[in-house]
């Protein structure tokens, strides 16, 4: 630090050497403004403060759907190291999470499909300020590893795969956007009577993808992020575009949050350009 005019550098007082935002914390330093303090002592005092845990560190409760689970596993520890805040992540089926928030459960950050966040905004369960979008998920068809490739490139080809499959698994229609969408498109394809006899409704969070890898179901249909790094499966491909569902995921600060500042920081960190590669790696499509 440059000495102030009229002072020798060795005669800086404690108040002049300590950054303004630390001055209230250094209660144990001599407070006599005119008594000079040796720079080495000030340096030691500042080092002790900077190495100590941040007294303002917050616990941030993140309530999330299952899709961003691996993103949080990758990014939360880095955010914690950068800020000193602690991330507590809990994952729920979207329908269950929405109900818990409507009933007043505590959260700092919510990560959900954007339409679900929009509905929560209407009833003032989230702040519109500080919202962000992260990426788009699409649905993919999976089979047990080693299964011969199947053509699902067209609506008719996909319909034939559903008809011929001995067993099918996808998420519960009432619990997730993907499950509701698949149930709807099966009805539009006019094969509900056949598919309903051989389908198991099980969300990925509750082991649906594992049913495919373990051979309990011939095919499964799930968001890309739920299957991208799972061993024992092969991806047959995305749903044909006319049948595809695009799930835009976003984040918002819950109105219950007692740490809205750190919560906003975490949302900004998740959506930062330097972290887009992590979202892509976990199955999300990110616009440039």
pLDDT in tens, 191-244: 999 999 999 999 999 999 999 999 999 999 999 999 999 999 999 999 999 999
pLDDT tens digits, 42-78: 444 444 434 444 447 999 999 999 999 999 999 999 9
Residue 123 has pLDDT above 90, yes or no: yes
How far apart are the two ends of the chain, measured CA to CA in Å?
42
Mean pLDDT of 144-153: 96
Residue 31 has pLDDT above 80, yes or no: no
What pTM was estimated for this model as a whole? 0.78
pLDDT, the chain, mean: 86
137-246: which CATH architecture? 3-Layer(aba) Sandwich (3.40)
Tokens found for residue 278: 């992590």
Tell me what pLDDT residue 56 has. Answer: 78
Could you tell me if 199 and 169 are in contact, meaning their C-beta atoms sit under 8 angstroms apart?
Answer: yes
Q: Where does CATH 3.40.190.10 sit in the chain? A: 59-136+249-281, 137-246
In 10 A of CB 143, how many CB atoms?
22
Distant-in-sequence, close-in-space partners of 82: CB < 8 Å, separation ≥ 6: 269
Which is more confidently placed, 4 or 249?
Answer: 249
Tell me what pLDDT residue 249 has. Answer: 98
Tell me what pLDDT residue 40 has. Answer: 53
Could you tell me if 177 and 94 are in contact, meaning their C-beta atoms sit under 8 angstroms apart?
Answer: yes
Share of the chain above pLDDT 70, in %: 80
59-136+249-281: which CATH architecture? 3-Layer(aba) Sandwich (3.40)
State the pLDDT confidence band at 20, using cuts at 50, 70 and 90.
Answer: very low
State the pLDDT confidence band at 11, using cuts at 50, 70 and 90.
Answer: very low
pLDDT tens digits, 173-192: 999 999 999 999 999 999 99
Tokens found for residue 207: 């082991």
Distance (Å, rounded) from C-alpha 134 to C-alpha 149? 31
Tell me what pLDDT residue 288 has. Answer: 60
Could you tell me if 178 and 138 are in contact, meaning their C-beta atoms sit under 8 angstroms apart?
Answer: no
Which is more confidently placed, 17 or 53?
Answer: 53
Distance (Å, rounded) from C-alpha 162 to C-alpha 168? 8
Could you tell me if 88 and 257 are in contact, meaning their C-beta atoms sit under 8 angstroms apart?
Answer: no
In 10 A of CB 162, how many CB atoms?
21
Residue 41 has pLDDT above 90, yes or no: no
Residue 17 has pLDDT above 50, yes or no: no
Residue 33 has pLDDT above 70, yes or no: no
């Amino acid at each position: 630090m440059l000495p102030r005019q009229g002072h020798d550098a060795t005669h800086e007082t404690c108040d002049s050497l300590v950054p303004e935002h630390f001055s209230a914390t250094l209660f144990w330093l001599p407070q006599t403004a005119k008594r000079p303090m040796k720079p080495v002592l000030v340096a030691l005092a500042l080092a002790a403060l900077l190495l100590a845990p941040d007294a303002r560190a917050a616990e941030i409760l993140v309530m999330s759907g299952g899709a961003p689970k691996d993103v949080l596993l990758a990014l939360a520890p880095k955010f914690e190291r950068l800020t000193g805040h602690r991330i507590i992540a809990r994952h729920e089926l979207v329908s269950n999470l929405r109900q818990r928030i409507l009933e007043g459960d505590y959260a700092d950050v919510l990560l959900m499909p954007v339409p679900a966040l929009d509905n929560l905004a209407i009833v003032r369960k989230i702040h519109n300020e500080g919202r962000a979008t992260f990426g788009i998920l699409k649905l993919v068809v999976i089979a047990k590893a080693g299964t011969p490739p199947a053509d699902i490139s067209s609506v008719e080809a996909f319909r034939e795969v559903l008809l011929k499959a001995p067993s099918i698994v996808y998420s519960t229609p009432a619990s997730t956007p993907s499950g509701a969408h698949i149930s709807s498109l099966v009805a539009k394809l006019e094969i509900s009577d056949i598919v309903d006899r051989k389908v198991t409704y099980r969300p990925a969070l509750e082991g649906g993808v594992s049913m495919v890898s373990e051979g309990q179901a011939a095919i499964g249909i799930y968001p890309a992020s739920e299957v991208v790094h799972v061993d024992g499966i092969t991806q047959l491909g995305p749903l044909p575009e006319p049948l595809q569902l695009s799930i835009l995921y976003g984040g918002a600060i819950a109105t219950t949050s007692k740490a809205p500042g750190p919560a906003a920081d975490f949302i900004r960190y998740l959506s930062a350009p330097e972290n887009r590669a992590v979202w892509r790696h976990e199955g999300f499509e990110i616009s440039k």
